[in-house]
Amino acid sequence: MAVFGTADAKVLMPRNIADGMIKESKSLSTVARLSGREPMRFGEVDYITFNDFPKMEYVEEGGNKSSSSTGFGAVTAKPHKGQVTLRFSNEVEWADEDYQLNVLREVADAGQVALSRGLDLGLFHRINPLSGSVITGWDNYVTATTKRVEQATADADDDFRAAVGLLVGASKQVNGAAIDPKFAWALANLKRRDGSGDTSDLRYPQLGFGTNVTDFMGVPTAQGDTVSGVPEAPDTGVRAIVGDFRNGIRWGVQRELPVEIIRYGDPDGQGDLKRKNQIALRLEIVYGWYVFTDRFAVVEDKVA
């Protein structure tokens, strides 16, 4: 079977490539490392919520049973469509199937990074990765939380504790933290103190140089520069995001991963394809998510 059909506008990514792409995307995204993806149909998805937890009642033998006062609400996970468009010489259409499969692997390799970073940037900050600008029409994203800690001390671990304290004090769970490399470096460089001040001993020697932190103070941790939004966008100043990653984020992939073959026109503003003897391959994905923003707190740079 030919990979690039002469008439088909879209080809499905071979399953072994697509599965590997999703797997690798999950390992690159801080959101995916801390919060499990779930099956999600296309379009807006409603989730039922309790406005108050129902309470059990002990009933004596022969006693009357009472109802537990509670209320129901609903939140909606909305679809967010992303795409990556790559250009190749149109000679790939003349090549054999093995070569065309290699081209799809190139698309997958480039796409998995773009799609995983796009999930973080959109869900954390509502940033459009290609332009670096904020999508003002989106109102549901993690850093919209009002629980914020401004870095005010030289001790990054104190700021981390303060952020956790904002959630614990509000009876929220803390089961994950996404941290920026700058924050990881600050934690790794903290020195242990004694009665006369700082010593030469590292406070958290298990962090090494802070290059691959997976756990801090018993909290599962994922490290990545999407926490601060760079390099796609100007630094947001966010250095750490802590909170309920298991239940505070509901997200999934709502569509398969077809590759669209574009042979005509100027699909990405880089010039006419026919004139340049090129074809474009476009990979699209639809994420859906809802964030309970009150279940998260951020540590951010002190505003000058």
In this prediction, residue 95 has a pLDDT band, given cuts at 50, 70 and 90, of confident
Yes or no: say if 52 and 140 are a contact pair by the CB < 8 Å rule.
no
Which two tokens mark 286?
């639809």
Q: pLDDT, tens digit, for every residue of 115-159?
A: 889 899 999 999 999 899 999 999 999 999 999 999 977 799 999
End-to-end CA distance of the chain: 61
Higher pLDDT, 165 or 274: 165
- Secondary structure E strands in the chain: 10-12, 45-50, 72-89, 148-150, 176-179, 191-194, 197-202, 215-216, 219-223, 238-243, 249-253, 258-262, 278-291, 296-300
pLDDT in tens, 257-279: 667 888 889 988 889 998 999 88
Q: How far apart are CA 201 and CA 229, in angstroms?
A: 32
- Is it the case that residue 77 has pLDDT exceeding 60? yes
Name 138's bridge partners.
none
Mapping DSSP to helix (H, G, I), strand (E, B) and coil, where does residue 215 land? strand
pLDDT at position 293: 95
Can you name the residues that pair with 243 across neighbouring β-strands? 176, 296
Considering the segment(s) 10-53+72-300 as one domain, its CATH architecture is Alpha-Beta Complex (3.90)
Q: How confident is the model at residue 221 (pLDDT cuts 50, 70, 90)?
A: very high
- Residues 167-176: tens digit of each pLDDT: 999 999 999 9
DSSP annotation string for 192-211: EEETTEEEEEES-GGGTTSS
Q: Is the pTM of this model over 0.85?
A: no
- pLDDT, mean over the chain: 82
pLDDT tens digits for range 201-220: 999 999 999 888 999 999 99
Give the pLDDT of residue 50. 47
pLDDT in tens, 19-38: 666 655 655 789 989 987 76
Torsion sign, CA atoms 181, 227, 35, 32: negative
Is pLDDT of 51 > 50? no
User: What CA–CA distance (Å, rounded) separates 111 from 107?
Assistant: 6
